[in-house]
Structure 1
Amino acid sequence: MQVERRFIAGPGERSIMVEQAVSSSVSAPPHRLRGSIGVSGIVFLVIAAAAPLTAVAGSLPVMIALGNGAGAPLTYIVVAAVLLVFSVGYATMSSAVTETGAFYAYVTKGLGRAPGLGAAALALLAYTAVQAAIYGLAASTMDAVMARFGGPDLPWWVWAFALMALVAVLGYRSIDLGAKVLGVLLIAEIGLIVVLSGSILGQGGAEGIEFSSFSPSSFFSGSPGIALMFAVGSFIGFEATAIYGEETKNPRRTVPIATYVAVITIGVLYAIASWAIVLAFGSDQVQAVAAEHTGDLTFIAATEYLGSVTSDVMMVMLVTSLFAALLAFHNAISRYSHALSRSGFAPRGLMGVHARHGSPHVGSLVQTATAFVLVGIFAVAGADPVLELFTWMAGVATVSILVVMVLTSIAIVVYFARSGADKRLWHSKIAPVLGGLGLCAITALVIANFTTLIGGSRVLANVFLAIIAGTFLLASVTGHFVIRARQRRDATPISQQP
C-alpha cells in the first residue's frame, strides 16, 4: 500500500489536500509522463537534436569561411571540453532532478522558483526559435532536392508545413516511437559522415595527413569568436538528456550516462569530420574554397571522394537530419510546457497526458500551433527561409540557451553548497565552477559577434538581445509576484477566503 495525496475543491472553495490509501499496483499518476526509454534512446534523441549531418554539411562550411578556417576541428574540441566539464555537475545533480523540466527544474532547485521560471522561459524561447530556424533550413533544402531530382517547384513554406504535419503526428505519440524513428535516421546520417571522413582520411586528403588543425595557432587564426558561435550552435540540444528523466527506466543512472555519451559522441564526430573536410581541400586552401563554395563545400568533398551518387544521397539525408532535429526539439518544447503546467505556472490543460501513449499530447498540439504561427509570419512577410528565418532564429536560440546554461551552472554550485548532497569536490564544486566560467567566456564572445551571427544590422541585433533579456526578466518578475500571491493565499485561513 502507498499513500496518494490529492487536492479536491468545491465551487469557490480552497483546494484541500486529502490522503487516500491506494494499492501499490496503481499506475502512474494521470499527469506523470510514461515511457521506458533507455540510454541509447535518449542519446538518439539528443544527438538527433544536434543534427550531425546538418552541422557538417550546413554549419561547418560557414564556420570555416567566416571563422578560423583550418582551426575548426580544435574549436569543436574546445566547446566539447567545456560542455563535458559542465556536464559533470549537471549529471551529478540529475539524481535530485527527474522532472521533465530539465533546466527549469535545475535552476529552481538551486536558485529558487522565480529564476527557474525565467530559465524556463528562455529555454522555451531557445527551442522554439531553433525549431523555427530549422523549418526554414529544411524547407530550403527540400526545395533544392526537388529541383535537383525534377520534383515540383513549390513555395518554401509548403515544404515547411508538410514537415510540420509529420512532426505533429510523431510528437503526439509515445516517446518510444519517436526515439525509434530518430534512431534509424540518426544511424544512417552518422554512418554517412563516418564513411565520408574515412574515405578522405584513407585517401590522404588533398595534401596528405597532417595535424595543423589541432594547433593553437590555427585555433586563434581568423575569427575564433565566430567559429565558437557556430560550434556551440552545433551542440544545441545535448542538454535535453534530463528532459526525458521521467520517461526512463532508471533516471538516476540513465541521465548521467546519456549526458556523457552524447557530449563525447557529438564532440568526437564533429572534430573528426571537420578535420577530414579540411584535409579534403588542404589546410592552407580550405578557407578560400569555403568562402567561394559555402553552400556546397561538403557536397563537393563527397563527390570527389565518394562519387556523385553519394553526394545526391547526402543531400536527401540532409532533409532527414533536419527532420530528426525538428522532432527532437518538438519533444523538448512540449515537455517543458508540461512541466510548467504541472507546477502551476502554465495553463492547466498542458498537463494533459495521453491515456494510451503516455505523452504530453496537449503540449504537443500547442507546440505545433506555435510553430505554425511563427513560421507563418515569416512566410506572409515574404522572408527568405535561410537568410532571415534560419539565421535570425538560430542566433536568438544560441544566445538564449547559453544564458540558460550559465544560470544552470550557478544553480548547481549553489544547490550542492546548500544541500551537501554530494561531498565529491570535483563533481559538486570544481567542475561546475569551471564549466560555468567556460560558458561565460563563450557567451561573451557570442554576444560580441552577435550581429555577424544573425547576418543583420546592429539595430536588429540589439532588438533580439533585448527580447532575450526581457523574456527572462518578465518571467522571473511575474513568477515572483505569483509565488508571493500564492503564499499569502495559503497563509490565509479557509474561513476568510472568498
Structure 2
Amino acid sequence: MAHPTTPDAPQRARLSGNLGTGSIAFMVIAAAAPLTVIGGNAPLAIGQGNGAGAPVGFLIASIVLLLFAVGFVAMTPFVKEAGAFFSYVTVGLGSRLGMGTAYVALIAYTAIQAGIYGYMGWAVMDLVRYYGGPEIHWSVFAVLALVVVGLLGYRHIDLSSKVLGVALLLEILVMMIVNVAVLVNGGPEGLAPQSFDPQVFLTSGIGVAILFALTGFIGFESTAIYRDEAREPSRTIPRATYLAVAIIGVFYTLSVWVLVVAAGASNVTEVAQQTLFGSKNMLLDTAGDFAGAFTRNVMQILLITSLFACVLSFHNIVARYQFALAKIGSMPAPLSRVHVKHQSPALSSLVQSVTALVIIGLFVVIGLDPLVEVFGYMAGVATIGMVMMMLLTTVAVVVFFVRNPRLRKSIWTGTVLPVVAVAALGLAAWLVLSNFTMVTGGSLAVSIVLALIPPAALVAGAIVNRKDGGRTVDIQLDRVLEAESRE
C-alpha cells in the first residue's frame, strides 16, 4: 500500500483546515512565548535599558507593530498565497525580493527554533537539578522536546492549535494571577506611576528597552502563513493579526510594569541586574513573594511549557514556509505533498524535525552553552531577520498601493500609516544593529558574523528566485484588478 504522502496517493494541492480567529491568534501568541519574554526580556530591558521606564519601551514596540499591521492587513485581500512575508513582498516588490524574503524567513525561524530548543533543554536541566535530580545533558531534553514537536507537527493543524491554546491560557493565567496580586497589594513604593513619567522613560536606555521588547514579538506576523487552513482567510487573518498584537502588547506592558511595582521604581534596576547575573530570578521571586510558593512552582513549570508552545509554533511556521516554497518550485516538490489523512504538510514537517536535530547535534559537538550561546546567537539572527522582513513587507505595501491606487480603501491604511511604519521600522533596525552585541551576548566579531546571515540569505534567495518568475502571483493579481475594474 502506498504511503500517504507518496505520489501514488491522492493529494490536495492545498492544505485545509477550519481555524478561526482565536485559534490562529493563539498559535501566533504562543510563538511569542509571553511568559518567557517576561522572565527573560523584561529584566534585560529594565537592567540594561531605561530601568523603571521599561514598560513604556514595550508600549512603543506594540505601537510600532500595530502600525505595521495596518498595511499588512490592508494588503491581505490581494495576497492569495499562504506564504506570509514573502508572498506580500512578491506582490509588492517582485519575485526576486520576494524569494530573498522567503530565504530570510527560513533562516530566521529555523534559527529561533534551534535557539529555543537550547533554552528549553537548559530550563528542564535546571529544573531537574533544582529538585535534586541527576545531571543530564541539556541536549537530551531538547531532543525529547523535538520528538514531541515533530509528532504534533506531522498531524493536522487542529491538534497543534489545541495544545498551543491550552499551554498559552495556562501561562497567561498564572501571570495574571501574579499581576493582580501585585497590583492589589502594591509594592514597596506603591503602584510606581514613575514608569510613565517622561523624565523616567525618556532616557538614553529607552532604545535598549524597545529593542528587547521587539525581540519578544518574533512570530506575531505569521497569521498569514495559515491562510489555507483558515476558516475565512479574508476576515480571519486580519482579525487574528490585530488580536495577536493587541493581546501581546497589553500583556507585555502590564506585566513589565508589575515587575517594576513589585521591586519598587527606585530599586528595580538593581533587582533586574541581579537577575542578569544569576543571583536572583525577578519573575519567579515576584510570583513567590506576592502569590505564594505554589504559584512560583507552577510558574517555573509553565515557563517550560511556554518554551514548548513557542517551539511548536515555529516548527509549524517553518514547515508551511517550506510547503509554500515547494508549491512554486523553489524547494523540492515532495515538500508540497499533503498528507491524505492529516491534511498537513507532513513531509515538510519531518524534514524540519531532521534539520533541527542536525543543528542541535552541531551545537553539542561545538560545545556551545545552551542559554548564553545557543539561544543568544540564534535569537540575534532571528531578530535581524524579523526586522528586515517587516521592513521589506511594509515597503511592499506602500509600493503596491501606489501602483494600484483604486485598490486602496483608504489613503491612511494604504499609504500614510504604512509610510510611518517604514520610518519606525527603519529606526528599529538601527536600534537592533547598534545594540546587537546585547542581543547575542557574544563578542563583536561573532555578532558581526551573525548579523550578516539574514542579508546573505536575502541575496541568495534573490539569485535563486522562483521557477515561475512570479507569474502565478501576477495572474492572481491581474484577476483581482480585472474584477475591480468591472465594479
* TM-score, normalised by the number of residues in structure 2: 0.92
Counterparts of residues 144-293 of structure 1 (less than 5 Å)? 144-293=126-275
Alpha carbons 1:53, 1:190 under 8 Å: kept: yes
CA–CA distance in structure 2, aligned partners of residues 113 and 400 of structure 1: 18
Match for 1:404: what amino acid?
M
Note if contact 1:133-1:389 (Cα within 8 Å) is conserved in structure 2.
Answer: yes
1:422 matched to 2:408:
yes
**What is the identity, as a one-letter code, of the residue corresponding to 2:72?**
Y
**Corresponding residue number in structure 1 for 2:459:** 473
Q: Tell whether the 8 Å contact from 2:21 to 2:236 is kept in structure 1 after alignment.
A: yes
Q: Distance in 1 between matches of 2:164 and 2:258?
A: 26
2:421 pairs, out of 405, 420, 435, with 435
Partner of 1:24: none
SS of match in other structure, 1:293: helix
CA contact (8 A) 1:66 1:223 kept: yes
Which residues of 2 match residues 92-491 of structure 1 at below 5 A? Answer: 92-294=74-276, 295=278, 296-420=281-405, 421-479=407-465
Counterpart residue type for residue 383 of structure 2: T
Distance 2:124 2:190 in 1: 35
Relative to structure 1, the CA distance from residue 81 to residue 381 in structure 2 (aligned partners, 3 Å threshold; closer, same or farther) is same
Displacement after TM superposition at 1:219 (Å): 2.3
User: In structure 2, how many angstroms separate the alpha carbons of the residues matched to 1:246 and 1:163?
Assistant: 27
Shift of 1:99: 2.2
Distance 2:470 2:98 in 1: 17
The one-letter amino acid paired with 1:69 is G
Cα contact 2:11–2:339 (8 A) shared by 1: no
How far 1:222 moved relative to its partner?
4.8
CA apart distance, 1:150: 3.0
The answer (yes or no) to whether the contact 1:98–1:246 under 8 Å persists in 2 is no
The CA deviation string for residues 37-95 of structure 1, in whole angstroms up to 9 with x for no partner, is 00000010000000111011122112211111111110111000010011011011111
What letter is aligned with 1:427?
Answer: T
- AA partner of residue 95 (structure 1): P
- What is the rounded CA distance, in whole Å, between the counterparts of 1:407 and 1:171 in structure 2? 29
Deviation at 1:485, TM superposition (A): 13
Do the aligned partners of 2:11 and 2:338 also contact (CA within 8 Å) in 1?
no
Q: Letter of the aligned partner of 1:43 in structure 2?
A: A
Q: Match of 1:8?
A: none
Q: Which amino acid aligns with 1:100?
A: A
Cα separation, 1, equivalents of 2:295 and 2:436: 35
Instruction: Pick the aligned partner of 1:43 from 8, 13, 25.
Output: 25
Identify the residue that residue 479 of structure 2 maps to in structure 1. none
Q: Deviations over 1:76-117 (max 9, x none)?
A: 110000100110110111112242211010000000111000
Contact in 2 for aligned 1:69/1:222 (Cα 8 Å): no
Report the residue type matching 1:159 in the other structure: F
Q: Residue type of the partner of 2:342?
A: H
User: Offset at 1:125?
Assistant: 0.9
1:98 and 1:251 in contact (8 A); partners too: no
Contact 2:380–2:451 under 8 Å retained in 1: no
Q: Choose 217-226 or 465-474, whichever is displaced more.
A: 217-226
1: CA distance, partners of 2:195 / 2:47? 14
1:466 offset after TM fit, Å?
2.1
- Contact 2:89–2:392 (8 Å) recurs in 1: yes
C-alpha contact (below 8 Å) 2:284/2:299 kept by paired residues: yes
The count of aligned residue pairs is 459
Letter in 2 for 1:60: A
CA distance in 2, matches of 1:35, 1:254: 12
Per-residue deviation, residues 373-418 of structure 1 (Å, max 9, x unmatched): 1111111111100110000000110011100100000001111121
Q: Which amino acid aligns with 2:49?
A: G
> 2:420, 2:40 → 1: CA distance?
31
Cα separation, 2, equivalents of 1:410 and 1:382:
40
Give unpaired runs (5+ residues) of structure 2: 1-9, 473-487
**Secondary structure in structure 2 of the residue aligned to 1:208:** coil
Where 2:465 maps in the other structure, the secondary structure is helix
CA distance in 2 between counterparts of 1:140 and 1:239 reads: 27
**More divergent stretch after superposition (410-419 vs 92-101):** 92-101
Contact map agreement 1:37 1:176 (CA 8 A) in 2: yes
- Offset at residue 486 of structure 1 (A): 10
The one-letter amino acid of 2:349's match is S
Give the AA of the match of 2:173.
Answer: G
1:222–1:434 distance in 2 versus 1, CA, 3 Å: closer
Distance 1:268 1:218 in 2: 20
Q: Verify the 8 A CA contact 1:228 1:446 in the aligned structure 2.
A: no
Give 1:437 shift. Answer: 1.1
Using the aligned pairs only, state the percent identity. Answer: 42
Q: One-letter code of the match for 1:249?
A: R
In the TM superposition, what is the alpha-carbon distance from 1:216 to its structure 2 partner? Answer: 2.6
Question: Which contiguous aligned blocks of 4+ residues in structure 1 show a shift greater than 4 angstroms?
Answer: 482-487
Larger radius of gyration: 1
Give, in angstroms, the shift of residue 258 of structure 1.
Answer: 0.6
Question: Which stretch of the first structure deviates more once superposed, 278-287 or 96-105?
Answer: 96-105
